[in-house]
Structure 1
Amino acid sequence: MFDSRTRPLGVCLVAAFMTGLDVSIVNVALPSIREGLHASAGGLQWTLSGYALSFGLLLVPSGRLGDARSRRAIFMSGVLLFTLSSATCGLAPSMAVLIASRLVQGMASGMLNPQVSGLIQQLYPAHERGRPFGALGATIGLSTAAGPLIGGAIVTAFGHEHGWRWVFLVNVPIGLVLLPLAWRLLPAPSRPRKRQESMDPVGVLLLGVGVAALLLPFIQQRQWPGGAKWLLIPAALLVLAGFVTWERFYRKEPLVDLALFGRRSYSLGSAIALFYFAGFTGIFFIFTLYLQSGLNYTPLLAGLSITPFALGSAASSAVGGRLVWRAGRRLVAAGLTTVLAGLSATMLATALVPGRGVGAATLLPLLVAGVGSGLVIAPNQAISLSEVPPEGGGSAAGVLQTAQRLGSAIGIAAAGSTFFASLAQGWATAFRHGMLVVLLFVAVALAAAVFDLSREYVTR
C-alpha cells in the first residue's frame, strides 16, 4: 500500500541504484577506455579502485554530518556532485581527468549512501523497516549485479569508441531529475541545529587515514610490486586503534558511537557484511574477466550471463524484507547457505560444460545464488540497524557500509590475485580457483551468522 513515505523512499532508492551501478558497470567498459584514452593497466585499475577508495572514506563522516545537520542537504549535495562528476567522466579527454573525476564520483557516493539508510530509519519505526530495507537490498543487489549487463548494452548501442563515455553520461539526466524531487519530497531536519555539536575533526582524520591505508594495498595489489605495500596494514591497524582510543575518551559527541559494537546485532552484522561483500563483489570481477577475456564474450553477452544473479537477488530481497522480523538471523543464515550451494554449482557447471557454453550452463546456479543473496543483504542490514536510534542512523549505516566497501576491496584483490596466479593452467581453472576464495569468504559470513544464532539460543 502506498503512503506518504513511498515517494521519498523511491527518491532514496533511485539514488542508491545510481551509485551502486557505478561499482560494477565500468568493468565491461574497460577495454573501450583502454583503447579510447590509451590507458595503462594501472590507469584502468585506478578507474575502478579510485571510486571504491573515495567511496569508503566518506561514508562515516558524511553519515555523521547528515545526523548532525540535515540528511536532505547532504543527500542533495551528493546528488549534485555525483551528476557533475559523471559528466566530467564521460567527457574526460585523458586518463588523468577520468581518474580524478572517478575519485570525486566516489566521494559523492559516500555522501549519498548513509543518508539513504538514515532517512529510512527516520521515516519508518523499527518494526516497519523490514520492507523498505528489503527494497534497498533489492536495489543494491540489482544495481551491482545488473551493472555489467547495462554497461554492455550501452557500449554495444553507442559503439566501442564512444560507448564507455555514455556509461558515465547516463547518470546525468537521472541526477538532474533527482535534485528537485529530493528537495520537494525528502523530510527537512526534524530538530534545530545544535551549535555545540562538533564534527570531531580528529576522529575524521584518524578514521580516514586508517581506512585509506587499509584499502590501498588491496586496491593496488597488482600495480604496486613488492611486499612493501603490505606494511600499510599494520600501520593502518595502529591508526585505527588510535581512532578507537580517541573516540572512547572524546568528551563531545564522537564520530562513531562505540557502544553500538556492544550490541551483538550490530557487531556481528558488520562482520557478516564485510565477509559477504568480499565474496559477493569478487564473483562479478572474475566471472566478467573469464567470459570476456577467456571466452571472447561480447560485453553485452557477458552482462546477460550474470543477469540471473541480479534477477534472483531482486526477487528474494522483497520477500526477505517481509520475513526478516519473523525469521531474524535464521533468514540470513539460510540465504548464505543458498549462496554457497548456488556458487558451488556454478563452479561445477564450468567444469562439466567447458568452452563458450559456460554462460548457459551457469544460468540456473547463478539464479539460485542470487536468490540466496537477496536473503542476506537487506535482512542483515535491517537486523544490524534495528537497535540503532534514528538520530544516529546515518553514522551507524556509514560504519556498516564501510565494512562492505572494505570487504569488496579485499574480495576483489584476493579472488583476483588467485585468478591471475592460476591463468597458466587455463581460464576455466583460474576461474574455479578464484571461486574457491569467494566461497571461503561466504562461508566465514555464514559462520558469523550461525554464531549469532547459537548465542541467541543460549540467552533464551
Structure 2
Amino acid sequence: MPRRNALALAVCLAAAFTTLVDQASLNTAVPALRESLGAGPATLQWIIAGYSLAFGLAMVPAGRLGDAHGRKWFFVGGMALFAVAGVVAGTASEAWVVAVARLVQGVGAGIVNPQVYGVIQDLFTGRDRAWALGAYSTVGGIAAVLGPLTGGLALGAFGDDLGWRVVLLMGVPFGLLTVPLAIRCLPAGRPDRAHRTTLDLPGLALLGAVTLCLLLPFVLPGGPGLPVAVWPLAAVAALAALSWWERRYARSGRTPVLMPELVRSRGFSLGTLTAMFQFGASLSANLVLVLHLQENLGWSALDAALPLIPGAIGFAAASSQSWRLVARFGRSAVVGALAGAVTAIGATITVLHTVPESGLSVALMCTQFTAGVCGGLVLSPNQALTLAHAPAGAAGLAGAFLQVSQRISATLAMAAVTGIMVTGQNVTAALTICLAMMTASAACAALDLRTRPTAPQPAAPPVPATEIR
C-alpha cells in the first residue's frame, strides 16, 4: 500500500473514531443530562434522535457533491462543523441548545461520512479496498468499546452535573486534530468526470418531510392539537409527492435523491431494508438497556455501561473476520447472523424478567456479547453485498443512500423507545419494538437469497460497520 494512501486511510479512521465514540458515549450520559437541564421527554428525544435525522439527510447531497467536486474540503468542513457544534452542546445551559447543537453535529458527521467511503473507493481497489473497509469496521468497534466506558468513567469522576458536559466535549479534541491532518493528507484533486452538480433539493426536502411526519407523533407533547393520525397521513402524502417529483426529475436528465438505478435493483433495495431495520434495532436496544439500568434500577452510569462492553468487543472481533463467512456463504451468512441477533434480543427480554439483580450484569454481558458478534457478522457483509449492486461512478451517493435509510430508521426507532422509557418505563414494550425490527431485517435478508449479484462478491473484509454500540 503506498504511503500516501496509508496516511489518507489513517485520517479516515480518525474521523470514524471521532464521530462514533461521541455517539457511543452519549447514551450513558442521557439520564444525567436530563436531570441537570430539566429536559422534557420531547427535548430528550430530539437530543437522542435528532443527530441521526440530520446525519441521514446531510449524507445524500454531501455524497453527491463529493463525487462531483472532490472530497477533501467537504471532509474538512464537516469535521470542523462537528467539533464546533460539540463545544456548543457541551457548554449549553438549556436543553434546547443541546438539541440544536446535536442536529448541527449530525449535519457535520453526515458531510464527512460519504467522503470517507468515497476516499476509500477512490484510492483502493480489490483486496486493499476490502482491507481498508475492514479496518474502518474495526475502528468503529474500538470506539464502541471505549465510548460507554469513558462515558461512565467521566460521569463517575466529574459527577452528573459536569460529567455529561465532559462526555459531549470528548469528541472535540479528536475533531480539531483530524482537521489539519485531513488538509495535509487527503488528496486534493477532483474527479475528471466532475460537472455541474444537481442536488435535487426539492427531493431532499420531501424526504425530510416524510421522516419528520413519521417522527412528530413520538416527540410532540400531548394535549390539544392535531390528532396523531394526521401525521402518518401527511407522511403518505409527502411520500406520494416525493415519488412523483423524483420521476419527473429523472426524466429531465438529472440525478434524483432516490437514484432510479438503485431503487430498481432488487439486491440493493432488499440489502438497504436489511441494513435499515438492523441498524435501528441495534441502536435502540442498547439505548433501552442503558436507560432501564439507570432510570429503573438505579445503577450508576459506569455499571450500566459495563454490560455493553462485551457486545462491542464481540462486534469488533466478528466484523474483522466476517469477510471469511461472506466469501464462503454469501447472503446466507447474513441471514444466519440476523437469526442470532433476533435470538439475542429475545434472550435479553427473558433475562430482564427472570434473573435476579445480583446476577443481572453477568447475564446481560452474555446476551450483549451474542448480539455484538451477530451484529459484526451482519453489517460489513450486508453493506458489501448491497453496494455490489451500485452503478459505476456513484460510490459516494450509493453509500449515502444506503446509510440514509439506516439513519432514518434509527431516528424513528430511538425516538419511539425513548418516549416509552421516559414516560412509561416499559422496558418490555421498548425491546419488543427492537425485536420486531430485527425480525423484519432477517426477513428482508432471506428474501434476498435468490438475488443474483451484479458484481463479484468480495474476498476480503468488506464495507465498514457504522453501528454505534
What TM-score comes out, normalization by structure 1 length? 0.89
Matched-pair contact (CA < 8 Å) for 1:346–1:362: yes
- Runs of 5+ in structure 2 lacking a partner? 454-469
Aligned with 2:442 (options 430, 446, 454): 446
What TM-score comes out, normalization by structure 2 length? 0.87
Structure 1 residues 347 and 39, CA gap change in structure 2 (3 angstroms):
closer
Question: Which whole-Å CA distance do the structure 1 matches of 2:158 and 2:303 have between them?
Answer: 16
Question: Which whole-Å CA distance do the structure 2 matches of 1:449 and 1:440 have between them?
Answer: 14
Aligned with 1:239 (options 233, 238, 241): 241
Q: Deviations over 1:285-342 (max 9, x none)?
A: 2111210011111001101111111111011011013443343212211221221232
Question: Which whole-Å CA distance do the structure 1 matches of 2:127 and 2:449 have between them?
Answer: 20
Question: Which whole-Å CA distance do the structure 2 matches of 1:334 and 1:163 have between them?
Answer: 40
| More displaced stretch, 376-385 vs 86-95 | 86-95
Structure 1 residues 32 and 431, CA gap change in structure 2 (3 angstroms):
closer
Q: CA deviation at 1:130?
A: 3.2
Question: Which whole-Å CA distance do the structure 1 matches of 2:401 and 2:216 have between them?
Answer: 18
1:278 maps to 2:280:
yes
Residue in structure 2 matched with residue 402 of structure 1 by the alignment:
404
Matched-pair contact (CA < 8 Å) for 2:284–2:414: yes
1:77 maps to 2:73:
no
| More displaced stretch, 129-138 vs 75-84 | 129-138
Q: CA RMSD in A?
A: 2.7
Question: Which whole-Å CA distance do the structure 1 matches of 2:287 and 2:139 have between them?
Answer: 19
Q: CA deviation at 1:207?
A: 3.3
1:41 maps to 2:41:
yes
Matched-pair contact (CA < 8 Å) for 1:324–1:379: yes
Question: Which whole-Å CA distance do the structure 2 matches of 1:343 and 1:114 have between them?
Answer: 30
Question: Which whole-Å CA distance do the structure 1 matches of 2:144 and 2:430 have between them?
Answer: 19
Residue in structure 2 matched with residue 437 of structure 1 by the alignment:
433
Between the two structures, name the one with larger relative contact order (CA 8 Å, sep ≥ 6). Answer: 2
Residue in structure 2 matched with residue 50 of structure 1 by the alignment:
50
Matched-pair contact (CA < 8 Å) for 2:48–2:414: no
Matched-pair contact (CA < 8 Å) for 2:68–2:195: no
Structure 1 residues 261 and 131, CA gap change in structure 2 (3 angstroms):
farther
Matched-pair contact (CA < 8 Å) for 1:260–1:267: yes
Structure 1 residues 169 and 412, CA gap change in structure 2 (3 angstroms):
closer
Q: CA deviation at 1:192?
A: 4.3
Structure 1 residues 208 and 294, CA gap change in structure 2 (3 angstroms):
closer
Residue in structure 2 matched with residue 26 of structure 1 by the alignment:
26
Q: CA deviation at 1:224?
A: 8.0
Residue in structure 2 matched with residue 103 of structure 1 by the alignment:
103
Alignment-mate amino acid for residue 7 of structure 1? L
Alignment-mate amino acid for residue 380 of structure 1? N
Residue in structure 2 matched with residue 250 of structure 1 by the alignment:
252
- Aligned residue runs from structure 1 range 20-419, under 5 A: 20-125=20-125, 128-140=128-140, 143=143, 147-192=147-192, 194-218=194-218, 220=219, 226-227=227-228, 228-389=230-391, 391-416=393-418
Q: CA deviation at 1:346?
A: 2.3
Alignment-mate amino acid for residue 244 of structure 1? E
Structure 1 residues 34 and 342, CA gap change in structure 2 (3 angstroms):
closer
Structure 1 residues 204 and 90, CA gap change in structure 2 (3 angstroms):
same
Q: CA deviation at 1:37?
A: 2.8
Secondary structure class of the residue paired with 1:406: helix
Matched-pair contact (CA < 8 Å) for 1:63–1:114: yes
Question: Which whole-Å CA distance do the structure 1 matches of 2:280 and 2:163 have between them?
Answer: 29
Matched-pair contact (CA < 8 Å) for 2:48–2:415: no
Question: Which whole-Å CA distance do the structure 2 matches of 1:111 and 1:303 have between them?
Answer: 29
Matched-pair contact (CA < 8 Å) for 1:138–1:378: no
Q: Deviations over 1:2-33 (max 9, x none)?
A: 86533322321221232233334222222332
Structure 1 residues 185 and 357, CA gap change in structure 2 (3 angstroms):
same
Q: CA deviation at 1:204?
A: 3.5
| More displaced stretch, 326-335 vs 392-401 | 326-335
Residue in structure 1 matched with residue 457 of structure 2 by the alignment:
none
Secondary structure class of the residue paired with 1:391: coil
Percent identity among equivalent residues?
36
Q: Deviations over 1:169-218 (max 9, x none)?
A: 11121011101211222222342474533333333333343343344444
Structure 1 residues 230 and 210, CA gap change in structure 2 (3 angstroms):
closer
Matched-pair contact (CA < 8 Å) for 1:56–1:211: no
Aligned length: 450
Secondary structure class of the residue paired with 2:274: helix
Q: CA deviation at 1:347?
A: 2.5
Structure 1 residues 195 and 147, CA gap change in structure 2 (3 angstroms):
same
Matched-pair contact (CA < 8 Å) for 2:420–2:430: yes
Alignment-mate amino acid for residue 54 of structure 1? A
Question: Which whole-Å CA distance do the structure 1 matches of 2:274 and 2:193 have between them?
Answer: 35
Q: Deviations over 1:140-183 (max 9, x none)?
A: 45545753333222222222221111112111210111012112
Structure 1 residues 198 and 282, CA gap change in structure 2 (3 angstroms):
closer
Secondary structure class of the residue paired with 1:375: helix
Structure 1 residues 157 and 325, CA gap change in structure 2 (3 angstroms):
same
Q: CA deviation at 1:421?
A: 8.0
| More displaced stretch, 79-88 vs 157-166 | 157-166
Matched-pair contact (CA < 8 Å) for 1:56–1:405: yes
Question: Which whole-Å CA distance do the structure 1 matches of 2:433 and 2:256 have between them?
Answer: 37
Residue in structure 1 matched with residue 467 of structure 2 by the alignment:
none
Question: Which whole-Å CA distance do the structure 2 matches of 1:266 and 1:88 have between them?
Answer: 38
Q: CA deviation at 1:85?
A: 0.8
Q: CA deviation at 1:76?
A: 0.8
Question: Which whole-Å CA distance do the structure 2 matches of 1:78 and 1:390 have between them?
Answer: 25
Structure 1 residues 417 and 132, CA gap change in structure 2 (3 angstroms):
same
